[in-house]
Amino acid sequence: MVETASSEELRKIQVTGGSTYIISLPKTWVDQLGLKRGSIVSIVQRDDLSLYIQPKTSETGEKVKKVIINVSDDDTPDRVIRRIVSSYLLGYTIIQIRSHQKRLDSSIRLTVKDFTRKKLVGTEILSDLPNDLTLQILLSYTELSIMDALRRMSIIAASMHRDAMAALNTDNPKIAKEIISMDDEVDRFNLYVIRLLKAAITDGHILKESRIDSPRQCLGYRLITKSVERMADHAVKIAENRLALNLTIINEDLIKEFNKASESALKVFEDSMDALFENNYSSADKTIDLAENTRNMEQELIQMISKRANPEEAPALRLIVDSILRTAEYGSDIAETVLNMTIKDAVIEA
Q: Is residue 198 part of a domain?
A: yes
Residues 41 and 14 in one domain: yes
Q: What is the pLDDT of residue 181?
A: 84
pLDDT at 60 over 50: no
Question: H-helix or E-strand containing 14?
Answer: strand 14-16
Any idea what the CATH number is for the domain that residue 179 is in?
1.20.58.220
Output the CA torsion 173→159→296→334 (10° steps). Answer: 140
**Could you give the percent of the chain with pLDDT greater than 90?**
57
Q: Which of 137, 155, 187 is a domain's end point?
A: 137
The number of folded domains in the chain is: 3
Q: Is residue 350 part of a domain?
A: no
Residues 168 and 122 in one domain: no
Confidence grade of residue 262 (pLDDT, cut at 50, 70, 90):
very high
Q: What is the pLDDT of residue 277?
A: 95
Q: What is the pLDDT of residue 169?
A: 82
Nearest to 47 by CA among 275, 207, 223: 207
Residues 16 and 91 in one domain: no
Residues 78 and 118 in one domain: yes
Higher-pLDDT residue of 120 and 211 is 120
Q: What is the pLDDT of residue 56?
A: 66
Confidence grade of residue 5 (pLDDT, cut at 50, 70, 90):
very low
CA–CA–CA angle 122, 126, 131 (5° rounding): 130
Q: What is the pLDDT of residue 213?
A: 80
Q: Is residue 15 part of a domain?
A: yes
pLDDT at 6 over 80: no
pLDDT at 316 over 70: yes
Lowest mean pLDDT among 4-8, 10-14, 138-142, 185-189: 4-8
Residues 309 and 254 in one domain: yes
Residues in the chain: 350
Q: Is residue 285 part of a domain?
A: yes
Q: What is the pLDDT of residue 1?
A: 46
127, exposed or middle or buried, with CB in 10 Å at 0-12, 13-18, 19+? Answer: exposed
Over its C-alpha atoms, the chain yields an Rg (Å, rounded) of 25
Residues 243 and 294 in one domain: yes
Residues 172 and 124 in one domain: no
Q: Is residue 167 part of a domain?
A: yes
* Strand 20-22 to 14-16 pairing: antiparallel
Residues 116 and 163 in one domain: no
Q: Which of 17, 39, 59 is a domain's end point?
A: 59
pLDDT at 59 over 60: no
Any idea what the CATH number is for the domain that residue 112 is in?
3.30.110
**What's the mean pLDDT in 159-185?**
87
Question: H-helix or E-strand containing 259?
Answer: helix 252-278
Residues 71 and 39 in one domain: no
Higher-pLDDT residue of 315 and 61 is 315
- Which residue range(s) make up the domain with 125? 66-137
Confidence grade of residue 338 (pLDDT, cut at 50, 70, 90):
very high
Q: Which of 137, 163, 180 is a domain's end point?
A: 137
Residues 258 and 188 in one domain: yes
Lowest mean pLDDT among 22-36, 52-66, 233-247, 296-310: 52-66
Confidence grade of residue 53 (pLDDT, cut at 50, 70, 90):
confident
**89, 191 Cβ separation under 8 angstroms:** yes
State the chain's mean pLDDT as an integer.
88
CA distance 172 to 247: 7
Residues 43 and 73 in one domain: no
**DSSP calls for 310-329:** -TTTHHHHHHHHHHHHHHHH
Lowest mean pLDDT among 44-58, 109-123, 190-204: 44-58
Residues 312 and 183 in one domain: yes
Q: What is the pLDDT of residue 143?
A: 84
Q: What is the pLDDT of residue 187?
A: 95
**Could you give the percent of the chain with pLDDT greater than 70?**
93
Q: Is residue 205 part of a domain?
A: yes
Confidence grade of residue 98 (pLDDT, cut at 50, 70, 90):
very high
